[in-house]
Structure 1
Amino acid sequence: MAEVLFYHLQRQPLEAVLPVLITRSLERGWRVVVEVPDEERLAALDDHLWTFSEESFLPHGTEKEGDAASQPVLLTTGRHNPNGAQVRFLAASARLPDSVDGYERIVLMFDGNDAEALVAAREEWKRAREMGLAATYWQQDEAGRWIKKA
């Protein structure tokens, strides 16, 4: 059964946190799918993952580029798992999938400075619990470390 992690972003934006978490997932040998709600956000994230660091980049693709199944990291607006990922990142108000079968981990990342995102995250927390999923809530401390709050 997949575990669901809720990441409350307050000190750093998605663009700073997501590459680190994707890198850690790849180091575990997991394939990754990142879901965003629209094409505009997908294009911005696609560009960012190639340029977020002067020292490195994250190899990834989008469904539009074809051969989605071979991508270690796939960006999508869809609800499916075309690359057989073990971890799914949900960003920019993307919602939990109806089925978490096949995933080791689902990571829902939300902007703690956005009132609508907070409401949506609370709804998804309730939904995760109703689905019987093991959900945990993480928030950054002053030093930028992730602390488990619930």
Structure 2
Amino acid sequence: MAEVLFYHLTESRLEEALPDLLERSLARGWRVVVQSMTTERRDALDHHLWVYRDDAFLPHGTDGDASGAMQPILLTVEPDQRANDPQVRFLVDGAVPASLEGYVRGVYLFDGHDETQLAVARERWTAEKSAGHAVTYWQQSENRRWLKKA
């Protein structure tokens, strides 16, 4: 069973929170896949991960790249994409995986100001808990720190 974390973004945007969480995953030696809802969003995240900070580098590619399978971070829109043999699956903007079986960790990041994303997160909480995964809920404080709520 996977450990499944729900990150409720209330004070920052996905583009601000995602790189730090990806860095933490890579520091643990994990390979990652990030699933978004559209190719436009995938491509915007691809661009953002190259320029998000001057003193950092997150090696990544997309499922549209020939080298995608070799990347420590693979960006995709496919719910069952595992070409880079990831241990962690990030789900953004309401994306839903085919399954989290075989992953060490699943991470849902959702915008607390988007009713659709909130509804999907609630549905996924119930589904992942029912599937037997260990689920935890984290919410941002006013200073953008993560506080464990459940």
TM range (shorter): over 0.9
Give the Cα separation in 1 of the matches to 2:52 and 2:105: 24
Q: Which runs of 5+ in 2 are unaligned?
A: none
Residue aligning to 1:82: 83
Letter aligned with residue 110 of structure 1: F
**TM-score, length-scaled by structure 2:** 0.95
Letter aligned with residue 93 of structure 2: A
Give the Cα separation in 1 of the matches to 2:3 and 2:56: 29
Identity, % of aligned positions: 53
Output one character per residue of 1:73-116: Cα deviation in whole Å (capped at 9) or x when no partner. 10001122111111110001101x24323211000000001111
| Count of residue pairs the alignment pairs up | 149
SS of residue in 2 equivalent to 1:61: strand
Residue aligning to 1:71: 71
Residue aligning to 1:128: 128
Give the Cα separation in 2 of the matches to 1:119 and 1:101: 23
Residue aligning to 2:13: 13
Output one character per residue of 1:107-131: Cα deviation in whole Å (capped at 9) or x when no partner. 0000001111111111111111111
Superposition misfits of 4+ residues, deviation over 6 angstroms: none
Q: Which runs of 5+ in 1 are unaligned?
A: none
Letter aligned with residue 75 of structure 1: L
Output one character per residue of 1:11-49: Cα deviation in whole Å (capped at 9) or x when no partner. 011000000000010000000100001111011000000
Letter aligned with residue 95 of structure 2: A
The alpha carbon displacement at 1:58 in A equals 1.2
